[in-house]
Amino acid sequence: MKIIVCIKQICHTYARTGQDTERRYLNPEDTIYRINPYDEASLELALRFRDQFEPAADIILLTLGSLIAESELRRCLAAGADQLCRIVHSGSTTEDDPLMQPDPWTKADLLARAVMELGGEIVLCGKESMDRGSGQIGALLAHILKMPYVSAITDLSAGATTDQLHVQRSAGRGVREILRCPAPAVFSVDLGPDLRLPIFARRQWAMTCTIQNMMYPPWERSAQGVTIRLFPPRPRPKIVPVPDSRLPAYDRIGQLLAGSKVEKKGDLLTGSPESQVDGIMNYLKANGFIKSPDT
């Protein structure tokens, strides 16, 4: 039995500390490259399914595009997968930029071709990705492959017969439902247990494992829905600073909207009450609010 897990390497932006609008307020250390956590959850589900029901199953990881998070991919491989396949398509551009990723149709088509070539019986993917969050890949895959599809599952188990699968999903507001689904099928997975820790021997194996490249030409039909503009978030100030009243209104508004960092002007007096009193007195004298007796 082959279980195919589609994993996406993402460029996760966890902070916007830059000042440059050209670079969308991003500094180099504001992003990390990792695997979409929903995809890691789907891998963990696949591993648990194999442990419990199908010890002889092969788990194949499938990813698309350039290797921006190779160490993380190999970590997923070390966690228990058997093979890592990468789809290379001749239309690929820089993957960092979500705007420049191919649209979900194209991605689903490429993945479907790989799934058909590999021959998977269960196809798992994450419910959505953390960088674009379109959440369409599972459904589109199932459509192209003509397989049944259940979204946002949290548990996968074998049913009464070998070709029946039971999946559990949250039906909203605490309600959980269990569905019976015939294999082969496509499931998208919601967050659940964390991906297991890989053992060292497998990490070493995964470091040197060859990634199988699968080359496909780009799809002829272009996407119907196309992104035409992308608005990055304005860096949100953590604490809104008090604008400087001496500045004109335009600058004051600029101050309010400035960076995600706190603009703190002036001296913060700390310490014991005596030292703080001294600090206040020094400030008042230094700025001419109080004339000291000897001037």
Binding status of residue 14 toward other proteins by CB under 8 A: yes
Binding status of residue 265 toward other proteins by CB under 8 A: yes
The contact mask relative to other proteins for 166-195 (x = CB under 8 A, - = no) is ----------------------------x-
The contact mask relative to other proteins for 197-236 (x = CB under 8 A, - = no) is xxxxx-x---------------------------------
Cα-Cα-Cα-Cα dihedral sign, residues 275, 278, 282, 288: positive
Cα-Cα-Cα-Cα dihedral sign, residues 206, 40, 66, 142: positive
> In which order are the strands placed within the sheet that holds 185-189?
176-182, 164-170, 149-158, 185-189, 122-126, 2-6, 58-64, 83-89, 212-216
Q: Are residues 227 and 99 in contact, defined by beta-carbon separation less than 8 angstroms?
A: yes
Query: Least distance in Å: CB of 49 to other proteins?
Result: 18
Binding status of residue 261 toward other proteins by CB under 8 A: yes
Binding region for other proteins (CB under 8 A) out of 10-18, 150-158, 219-227, 250-258: 10-18
Using CB under 8 A as the binding criterion, the count of chain residues that bind other proteins stands at 26
How far is residue 125's CA from residue 133's CA, in Å, rounded to a whole number?
13
Query: Least distance in Å: CB of 80 to other proteins?
Result: 9
Residues forming a β-bridge with 31: 13
Please, what's the b/e burial string for 192-205 (b: 16 or more CB within 10 A of its CB; e: otherwise)? Answer: beebeebeeebeee
By CB under 8 A, name the one of 19, 23, 32, 119 that touches other proteins. Answer: 32
The binding site for other proteins (CB under 8 A) comprises 14-15, 17, 27, 29-30, 32, 34, 194, 196-201, 203, 261-265, 270-272, 274-275
